Structure 1
């Protein structure tokens, strides 16, 4: 149940209640608040909340009950231990609070508020309160508590003054022997500060000495006798004070039962008025309570949502319908709606008012919910696993008197299987006879709900023109195809919309075509926008083709010298070109070359380049070897590479 309290926000409501209580006992009771199982107990608590609200509206805030340590002091008195003056004074303040609460409640009797008649259970014990007020003040027994104490304190005061005057007289007479010009106190005794060398000149007892040892603090013999008289008077005073406190303690213990009744009643009233204060602060109303399994809310406002942004909820469930399936777009307010219903059921079942215009809420033996992803990393559970575990636990506990709230039913898994599981869960809830609310996105679940009269479809309203959720629940209407409509408004072509509808619903109805304004005939396809192209790295073969851009006989410019050369041999694998520059053949990287005139423009197609690149000797040797083999004849091919 605590998980449900946290999920639905009831724990926060209890914290708000505790903040409005004054006493620690009332805060403890409010933090432990739970829905009632007894109808008579619930109705009594609800009446008390209503009457507290009436008193607050009529008379204003009640007086603060002063109960700090009252119970501990009472128990101490009953044990026979003497109460200290501040403890007796605390009992007096408690009785004053009882008297003030009684006067506050009396003002409600004229308006016929039944809560006001709790005055009959409050007993301010006027005589004891007045005696405490007369005897103890500011944490001390007052001097006028008894004639004896008054006399003793007068004698003490006179004797203390006499001792002071005597000491100051001795100080003046023996001024030359003194280290200081004033009397001092050491160990509770009045002493003279005598120089060490004059110790024998002052009759009395050495009580203390200075850190240097140069000054002795001596209590004169004449003062010693007076001090002894003072101590006797103080003992007599202490005995009288104790006698008075024991007498008051005994009187307080004699009213033990009345005091405990007062304590219980002030705590009870603190609890009741905390509920009334919350009702006032939330602008809440008393809900009607029924046991017929019926929930009706008009203008319900979730207490955790600011009033300026909260959209009121109208809700109705019960009678013939036992369940509601809510569909609609994300962020449309489905979860807030079901949480509001669940929270109101907990609040009303605990005797609290609910923030709405009108409410009729049934009692429930339990409110069970599965909201949020519930993922448990420690247990290595997925979101879907966590949902199923929670739902199965709910199905084990649910009875006809339960309220069940499920959010995103069947989500977190394969859509087809999730839809089937959602329907199976709803069927179990339907057979249990409980009240249930579920949110879903599956269209098949809407179809299932439509086939059972005990289940209603509902949707969250959506502003199609502005593409905004309205956060308003519409019961009796299945969720509309907002996703398709939004896609249409945002520019999705008709052919894509038709395919989406086909996949989602197994076909597209005439109503949906009209709703989406799908055009007949050829469909306009989604236009393509210009996009950048990738620049891929070329492979080695492509590089080789690029290198072969120079041919034998091409006239080229060699950089950076900017001299003219003739290509002897095209690029090799390393991109180097053999170029003849001024009868010298050089290997030059192709990047340093620029084509000046192609060979095809300089020479005929069958031109013999050996005329340019070979020496006369090489050409002759080639000519002879072309006719027949000549022993010892060598052709030098190193220069042109052939």
Structure 2
């Protein structure tokens, strides 16, 4: 069974994960289960309280995702050269570590224990400063080394000489130039020369214009500088790689130290995420006990709006092992038992609870049966799934378990469901577990009254407004209020009387003081229902289409051709008409009577003369006299 999903603790985890920064912390939250070690749990709760206090006094810590830096450290350890961009990411992490140290140091002023995690962080100032000095804006800085600075200075000088030489040649050959400016083509400085003056300017043609009228020539005097420039760039590249490999080796040697820092950062991220969740949910640190006591004051469901949610008061202490909650539908019973278990599970996961005050017992397991677990794929009905889940709960329940069950014994015959509900309660009682169940069965309430270690409880309900007050009163059994709800919503008085008599007998009817018929809700008034519109039968049309008889002369529209009726209209109004050279089927609406058969042919006239071929008539005549294998063929 997925308890976290049934009580919506999975949604709490989703909120919690969104408050974490590192993937490690998110994974730890996703896999988080209840803590069974009392000392460890108290430490976790203390961390949550300290982190919330830290956040409220110092603000959000300077944390960031570390997945990228882990990949970079792996690259450095394999011996590959880190790029300037990757080295800047290493520097950013080291800067973040330095800022986090300062952030934590601020907590020492008010004695927050989390502040002392600062002593486990080492910002590796030497590595950070070295990267910052040599890497800038995604590249190796000019001043990373004296040699690199010298080489780049020579490159700039060489490029200026190339430009000056090109300008000098252009000035000396103005009439040959197609433009007044030199240009750079494929990394070479070129001058634009008119095609007809190609041989006047010595040099290599590097490119030409789209029309072919202008040639871009690298002058011979510039080419020698280009060769010098290429040599300098090779020197620059070698020096850049030397610097990058040196820094990579520095990072590689610092990997163990950085990994130790990352482990501390991830742990702090997890701890601070609990504090952030506490602030968002307005939680408080609960007290923890190893007895079987639960005390919740002004408890609320953490997923409900605190401005709308009505606080729940709940207390269970030895010798009480179980509470049977009754009350009307929509009275808040399910929300109440979810609220209790959610707060207990949150506390045992080291989180603050959404209560004003809480004292919560540690449980070895959390078990529940809530909602409709119907599964079509496994051929499980609502009741079958319910019983399957209940049996699984009972098989795991022990004296240290916390169990909640909703609508005990529902989904089947009421009498048998009541018996099953009592049997389940008895099994839970014998298991020694602490349990909360909801029910509507009066017999279950009676059972709870008699059992020494089970109490009844009820959810209060305002009969005038038909709204639940979400208040639980322990020690009193509740009623479903179904008749009052139905009455207030407009059920007619006669229906209510019938319902009361069927449920409790006629003697009880006088105890239900319903309002007079005239005072009922307008919803009870009989509303005018919509009517089904049946399709009209085309009787008149059928009469029209049956007037055509075999032999009638008809006019076929829209062609206005004259034909003879071969077969009268069928039930769909379709008749067969003989036209010159062919027979057609046509709707009776597309023909008009021209001349009746009685006017055209004598009585008992043989229409086969008109409608059948000579060959078919001969075969038919032969068939009337003797056996023949010939077949009459009709052309439709």
* TM-score of the superposed pair, with normalisation by structure 2: 0.77
8 Å contact from structure 2 (residues 183, 191) kept in 1:
yes
1:200-599 to 2 correspondences below 5 Å = 200-480=199-479, 482-486=481-485, 504=503, 516=512
1:279-333 CA-partner distances (Å, limit 9, x unpaired): 0111100111222232211111112111221000111123211111111001111
CA pair 359-6 structure 1, distance change in 2 beyond 3 A: same
8 Å contact from structure 2 (residues 500, 506) kept in 1:
yes
1:508-548 CA-partner distances (Å, limit 9, x unpaired): 78xx977x4699xxx9999999999xxxxxxxxxxxxxxxx
Per-residue deviation, 1:502: 6.6
Secondary structure, aligned partner of 1:69: helix
CA pair 119-525 structure 1, distance change in 2 beyond 3 A: closer
In structure 1, C-alpha distance between the alignment counterparts of 2:398 and 2:209, rounded to whole Å: 87
1:320-356 CA-partner distances (Å, limit 9, x unpaired): 1111111100111111111111211221121111111
Per-residue deviation, 1:177: 2.2
Is 2:54 the counterpart of 1:55? Answer: yes
Per-residue deviation, 1:9: 1.4
1:71-101 CA-partner distances (Å, limit 9, x unpaired): 1111111122111111111111101111111
Q: Name the residue aligned to 1:143.
A: 142
Q: Please tell me the root mean square deviation across aligned C-alpha atoms, in Å.
A: 2.9
CA pair 531-343 structure 1, distance change in 2 beyond 3 A: closer
CA pair 458-221 structure 1, distance change in 2 beyond 3 A: same
Is 2:77 the counterpart of 1:78? Answer: yes
8 Å contact from structure 1 (residues 46, 352) kept in 2:
yes
8 Å contact from structure 1 (residues 332, 462) kept in 2:
yes
Q: Name the residue aligned to 1:28.
A: 27
8 Å contact from structure 1 (residues 498, 508) kept in 2:
no
8 Å contact from structure 2 (residues 364, 401) kept in 1:
yes
Q: Name the residue aligned to 2:543.
A: none
Per-residue deviation, 1:26: 2.4
Per-residue deviation, 1:225: 0.9
8 Å contact from structure 1 (residues 493, 525) kept in 2:
no
Per-residue deviation, 1:169: 2.4
CA pair 206-499 structure 1, distance change in 2 beyond 3 A: closer
Q: Which moved more, 1:445-454 or 1:185-194?
A: 185-194
Which protein is bigger by CA-based radius of gyration?
Answer: 1
Per-residue deviation, 1:114: 0.8
Secondary structure, aligned partner of 1:46: helix
Q: Name the residue aligned to 2:539.
A: none
Per-residue deviation, 1:365: 2.5
Secondary structure, aligned partner of 1:315: strand
Gaps of 5+ in 2: 529-636
1:403-459 CA-partner distances (Å, limit 9, x unpaired): 111111111111111111111111111111111111111111111111112211111
Per-residue deviation, 1:503: 5.4
1:84-163 to 2 correspondences below 5 Å = 84-163=83-162
Q: Name the residue aligned to 2:617.
A: none
Q: Aligned residues, how many?
A: 525
8 Å contact from structure 1 (residues 501, 508) kept in 2:
no
CA pair 491-141 structure 1, distance change in 2 beyond 3 A: closer
CA pair 496-34 structure 1, distance change in 2 beyond 3 A: same
1:246-266 CA-partner distances (Å, limit 9, x unpaired): 111111111121100111111
1:213-244 CA-partner distances (Å, limit 9, x unpaired): 33332211211111111111112122222111
8 Å contact from structure 2 (residues 324, 448) kept in 1:
yes
8 Å contact from structure 2 (residues 19, 277) kept in 1:
yes
* TM-score of the superposed pair, with normalisation by structure 1: 0.76
CA pair 143-333 structure 1, distance change in 2 beyond 3 A: same
1:364-400 CA-partner distances (Å, limit 9, x unpaired): 2321222111222323322212211211222222222
Q: Name the residue aligned to 1:623.
A: none
Per-residue deviation, 1:507: 9.2
In structure 2, C-alpha distance between the alignment counterparts of 1:310 and 1:77, rounded to whole Å: 54
CA pair 471-194 structure 1, distance change in 2 beyond 3 A: same
Q: Name the residue aligned to 1:626.
A: none
In structure 1, C-alpha distance between the alignment counterparts of 2:175 and 2:527, rounded to whole Å: 111
Q: Which moved more, 1:360-369 or 1:35-44?
A: 35-44
Gaps of 5+ in 1: 533-642
8 Å contact from structure 2 (residues 22, 64) kept in 1:
yes
Secondary structure, aligned partner of 2:123: coil
Q: Name the residue aligned to 2:565.
A: none
Secondary structure, aligned partner of 1:185: strand
8 Å contact from structure 2 (residues 176, 197) kept in 1:
yes
Secondary structure, aligned partner of 1:144: helix
Q: Name the residue aligned to 1:169.
A: 168
8 Å contact from structure 2 (residues 23, 65) kept in 1:
no
